[in-house]
Amino acid sequence: MKEISITSSFIVFDSLNELSKDVQDLMNQAIEIRKKAYAPYSQFRVGAALLLDNGKIVLGSNQENAAYPSGLCAERTAIFYAGSMYPEAKILKIAITAASDTNQTKAPIPPCGSCRQSIAEYEIKQDTPIEIYFMGEIGEVYKSTSLKNLLPFMFDKKFL
């Protein structure tokens, strides 16, 4: 038997003001689209903004459904739209923000497992790391330089 150790590291920004101008703009677009989320059941709104290598920005918000789990997370809404509309474009950066209708969300909210797997698919497909920035409603913003940092044991096509 042996033990292995895997480490993840993140850059932590105290606030949006510490981000570069382009990432601030991306996160502000994620904040605006978050407000348009359809979240009558969880009352938890998520917004995502993707910057593509063609300069396009693709937005997504979570969309819930009474027939749970038929809804879709903000990240996957944006990623799948980008994949269908701009299939040759690479995703350079993703900004994610989450807020609750019932209490203030201060801790950075990372993508869920399903979203991580979906982001992994595109990161592997494009063979280029995707920068991921995530935050709550206010407070710190975490930056991961790659999805692999968030999901070190990624499942991909080489296992099929």
123 labelled catalytic: no
Q: Per residue in 52-83, is it b (16+ CB within 10 Å) or e — as a string?
A: beeeebbbbbbbbeeeeeebbbbbbbbbeebb
Residue 112 assigned to a binding site: yes
65 annotated as belonging to a binding site for a ligand: yes
Q: Work out whether the CA dihedral 60, 29, 92, 110 comes out positive or negative.
A: negative
Find the catalytic residue in 18, 75, 121, 131: 75
Binding site annotation covers 67? yes
SS (H, E, C) 85-131: HCCCCCEEEEEEEEEECCCCCCCCCCCCHHHHHHHHHHHHHHCCCCE
115 is in an annotated binding site: yes
- Confirm or deny that 140 is annotated as ligand binding: no
24 annotated to a ligand binding site: no
Determine whether the annotation assigns residue 73 to a binding site: yes
Annotated binding site for substrate: 62-68
- Catalytically active residues, by annotation: 75
Task: List binding-site positions for Zn(2+).
Answer: 73, 112, 115
Binding site, annotated residues: 62-68, 73, 112, 115
